[in-house]
Amino acid sequence: MIDGASDTIQFAHRHLLGIEGLSPDDITLLLDRSESYVEQNRRIDKKKSVLRGRTIINLFFEASTRTRTSFELAGKRLGGDVINMSVSTSSIKKGETLIDTAMTLNAMHPDVLVLRHPDAGAAKLLSEKVNCAVINAGDGSHEHPTQALLDALTIRRRRGRLEGLKVAICGDIVHSRVARSNIHLLNTMGARVRLIAPRTLIPEGVERLGVEVFHDMNEGLEDCDIVMMLRLQTERMHGNFFPSIREYFHFFGLDYEKLSSAKPDALIMHPGPMNRGVEIDSEVADDIGRSAIREQVEMGVAVRMACLELLTLNRPETEQRNL
Ligand code: NCD
């Protein structure tokens, strides 16, 4: 028995590489464990010793504020040793360098590697080369599982459930790992997902994932319980995806007028970083009654604590693998 975590708790996965492939039970287990950390994080004494003796390395090949900080806090609040490594994108050679770095780090016996990388599939590749657990903190436009989990925790706390809710994900879907992980999670948990964006920002064939697609905010937001806004990921754009920021905000930026198509108590969410006046109006973003944006950040720490805990529980003391 470790600090309130029953030794019968089992998470059936070695790594957390994405939401795709997780069962409703896996997701519920992660959310329930996260819930137990929300209260702990509001106390004066926030520390436990669940991860005492364990080493967590944050390996970030892309810029990050909240994700990296929140993994660091999560590891420290559970009593682990956390090392941060930020690698500037300009100095890396894809693939080969990642593997070289992985092998170097692996030799230092970390227990968890948290990886953010501009290439889709980087976390999976890393997981095949190291002995420890790997958490994907965002791989290109592919997945960002802990973001979807913290979004789900925020929604579940506000609405009491995920099943049956109508969730609109709006904006730059095509470049968004947050959108992809949320689609998988919300579908798995029985919510109904709508995507709203200009045609250029919707991935081809996305309907196959079981979502409805809209190109008009008022139509798409109609009767929605949750409105999730996304940043335009200009760093991943090669070419012109929309005529101008002004026009984009006019048609797709969330303001009170467009929001009035959703349910009167619809919750406003955004993973951050926000671009005010681009995808969201400042007043809407700061609406204390309706915006859950700050709560999402709070839930992020609790979710990452649960992920670190569940991935390190019940692991054999020594694991060997030939690299
Ligand atoms: C997101 C990301 O990095 O994918 N941010 C985050 O993790 N909070 C979304 C974004 O960068 O727009």
pLDDT digits (tens, 9 = 90+) for 122-153: 999 999 999 999 999 999 999 999 999 999 99
Please state, in angstroms and rounded to a whole number, the distance separating the CA atoms of residues 302 and 152: 12
**Residues known to be catalytic:** 66-67, 94, 116, 144
Residues in Cβ contact with 73 at an 8 Å cutoff, skipping those fewer than 6 apart? 301, 304
Average pLDDT over residues 217-243: 91
Looking at this protein, which amino acid is placed at residue 237? M
Q: Is 143 strand, coil or helix?
A: strand
Distance 155 CA to ligand 1 centre (A): 18
Distance 173 CA to ligand 1 centre (A): 12
Cis omega (within 30 of 0) for bond into 145: no
Q: Is 67 in the pocket of ligand 1 (CB under 6 A)?
A: yes
Q: Which atom of ligand 1 is nearest to the CA of 116?
A: 3
- Give pLDDT, residue 90: 43
Distance 2 CA to ligand 1 centre (A): 32
Give the pLDDT band (50/70/90) at residue 92: low
Please state, in angstroms and rounded to a whole number, the distance separating the CA atoms of residues 201 and 218: 17
pLDDT digits (tens, 9 = 90+) for 146-172: 999 999 999 999 999 999 999 999 999
Nearest to 196 by CA among 235, 163, 160, 224: 224
Q: Which atom of ligand 1 is nearest to the CA of 233?
A: 12
Distance 23 CA to ligand 1 centre (A): 24
For ligand 1, atom 7: residue with the closest CA = 67
The residue written with tokens 């709508």 in the block is: 194
Q: Detail the DSSP E strand segments found in 141-266.
A: 166-170, 192-196, 212-214, 226-229
Q: Is 296 in the pocket of ligand 1 (CB under 6 A)?
A: no
- Give pLDDT, residue 88: 62
Residue 186 to residues 60, 155, 211, 313: CA-CA distances in angstroms?
27, 11, 10, 26
Please state, in angstroms and rounded to a whole number, the distance separating the CA atoms of residues 141 and 146: 14
